Amino acid sequence: MPVFGFPEPLLDALRTARRMVVLTGAGVSAESGVPTFRDAQTGLWANFKPEDLATPGAFRRNPRLVWEWYATRRARVGEAQPNPGHFAIAELERRMPEFLLATQNVDGLHQRAGSRNVVELHGNITRTKCFEEGTAVESWPATAEAPPHCPRCGGWLRPDVVWFGEMLPEEEFARALAASRRCEVLFSVGTSALVHPAASLPLDALDAGAWVVEVNPQRTPLTPRVDYFLEGVSGVILPALLKAAWPA
């Protein structure tokens, strides 16, 4: 395990923190083999930008294409395993008296790694709901139709994710915002910090006087604002940071 020289004030802040928020994006799942949202699309989807597929308009215009894009991603997520970055975030939670994980990810890998206090800001690709009613649908008759139809109302089924132009789940975002305004330390891990309103959470934490730490192999629009920019991949940086803060 490479030894990083983490700044002592950062390690002290971790050891003494009582209230922490971690905001994650697709980069945390990259080392699990789940393409990030802005990775170049491959195969069937090479000609499409995610932002052009992850919208209600795209679904209305071409429901089969959008449904199959999500079915492909859902299958990939099903084969993925949590990586050391996910496990390190779950360990961080166990060490904090008060902790919230606000994830933009829709793959459910944080929960599989043992994270408990999680809000999914953008939904979860493994859940399905009715496009008309907006309510969850757990099962439907096997069909070759794509998308399948709601067994209750006959409308199209869709993934239970938040598309561009759609509101985030109100309660989840309110919890994440309140925690960001209360915390002493906020980590922004594996996110390009481009998509709002999730990208505003670190700024709310900064305005409330929290330490903000960013973990990313690349700089982002947030980088100039943070207290510490830990340049590297989360699967390496986060385990090393925990080991440095709590060597025993």
User: What whole-number distance in Å separates Cα of residue 83 and Cα of residue 234?
Assistant: 9
Q: Is 188 in the site for ligand BV8 (CB under 6 A)?
A: no
Query: Looking up tokens 């090393």, which residue turns up?
Result: 240
Q: Which position among 8, 167, 224, 248 is part of the footprint of ligand BV8 (CB under 6 A)?
A: 167
Find the binding residues for ligand BV8 in span 68-107 (CB under 6 A).
104-106
Min dist. Cβ of residue 219 to ligand BV8 (A): 9
What contacts 13, CB < 8 A, 6 or more positions away? 184, 185, 211
User: What whole-number distance in Å separates Cα of residue 126 and Cα of residue 71?
Assistant: 9
Q: Which of the 8 DSSP states describes residue 163?
A: P
CB 93 within 8 A of CB 86: no
Q: Is 191 in the site for ligand BV8 (CB under 6 A)?
A: yes
CB 125 within 8 A of CB 73: yes
φ/ψ of residue 223, rounded to 5: -50, -45
CB 226 within 8 A of CB 214: yes
Q: Is 26 in the site for ligand BV8 (CB under 6 A)?
A: yes
What contacts 217, CB < 8 A, 6 or more positions away? 27, 231, 232, 233
φ/ψ of residue 35, rounded to 5: -55, 145
Min dist. Cβ of residue 248 to ligand BV8 (A): 26
Strands (E), the chain: 19-24, 98-103, 118-120, 123-130, 157-161, 185-189, 211-216, 228-231
Residue 110 catalytic? Answer: no
Stretch 134-163: interaction string toward ligand BV8, x if CB under 6 A: ---------------------------xxx
| 115 vs 216, beta carbon nearer ligand BV8 | 216
Min dist. Cβ of residue 154 to ligand BV8 (A): 25
The stretch among 33-41, 128-136, 149-157, 172-180 that binds ligand BV8 (CB under 6 A) is: 33-41
| 19 vs 36, beta carbon nearer ligand BV8 | 36
Q: Which position among 6, 37, 131, 187 is part of the footprint of ligand BV8 (CB under 6 A)?
A: 37
Min dist. Cβ of residue 97 to ligand BV8 (A): 26
Q: Which position among 36, 111, 117, 200 is part of the footprint of ligand BV8 (CB under 6 A)?
A: 36
Tell me the catalytic residues: 122
Q: Which residue ranges make up the site for ligand BV8 (CB under 6 A)?
A: 25-27, 30-31, 36-38, 51, 54, 104-106, 122, 161-167, 190-192, 194-196, 215-218, 220, 233-235
